[in-house]
Amino acid sequence: MLKSEDFAQELINSGYDFFTGVPCTIIGNLITTLTERPDITYIPAVREDAAVGVASGAFMAGKIPVVLMQNSGLGQCLNALTSLSLIYKLPCLLIVTWRGFGNKDAPEHLVMGRICEKLLDTVGIPHHTFNPDNIKVLINMSYKLITEKNEPLALFLKEGIID
């Protein structure tokens, strides 16, 4: 299991320099790490669509943003992604925790856990899923892709990949 500090460092090494989002237990330590680092900004958002809005503004002002959220938040920010990020071509990396994976979780996570990949396929947002061996590769690739294509990209993070 990768330490959250190291995961954060990979994001920063890749070039990401603006962070916002809404917590999930899977990324609890990661958000704490990002909040405590003096060299970067983490903006606690009240909702995932507000996070996408703040990230979009930050991008236009020269930052390369990351938005952290639980997959439930995809439902909350769907309109921000479709009618802001995609039509204006405002990129951000979405790090989305995959609750309800394999139908094993609290009831409120099961529907989104089943459909979150299909949801992004429908919207047309590319996505990949972290495993213990591809973390660095996916983070580096994501930076290259979102800055070249100017579109959001999602990386799903299941429980047990970072501490």
Partner 1 sequence: MNYREAITTIMELLKGQLVVCANGLISREAFTIRDRTENFYMIGSMGLASSIGLGVALSKPSRKVIILDGDGNLLMNLGSLPMTGSLQPKNLLHIVLDNEVYASTGNQPTISNVIELEDIAKSAKYAYIKKVTADDELRREVAHILENDGPSFLLVKISDKEEQKEIGRVTHCPGEIKERFMSAIDNGRNM
Per-residue binder mask for partner 1 (CB under 8 A), 19-58, x = binder: -x--------------------x-xxxxx-xxxxxxxxxx
Using the minimum distance from each CB to partner 1, give the nearer residue, 40 or 141.
Answer: 40
Cβ 37 to partner 1 shortest distance, Å: 16
Residue 94 binds partner 1 (CB under 8 A): no
**Whole-number Å distance between alpha carbons of 38 and 46:** 22
Candidate list 25, 35, 82, 122; residue touching partner 1; CB under 8 A: 82
Cα 142 to the center of its chain, rounded Å: 11
Tokens of 9: 């460092």
Which amino acid appears at position 105 of this protein? D
Cβ 51 to partner 1 shortest distance, Å: 8
Of residues 57-76, which lie at the interface with partner 1 (CB under 8 A)? 57-63, 65
Residue 78 binds partner 1 (CB under 8 A): no
Kindly state the greatest CA–CA separation across the chain: 41
Candidate list 3, 89, 104, 149; residue touching partner 1; CB under 8 A: 89
Site for partner 1, rule CB under 8 A: 18, 20, 41, 43-47, 49-63, 65, 79-80, 82-84, 87-90
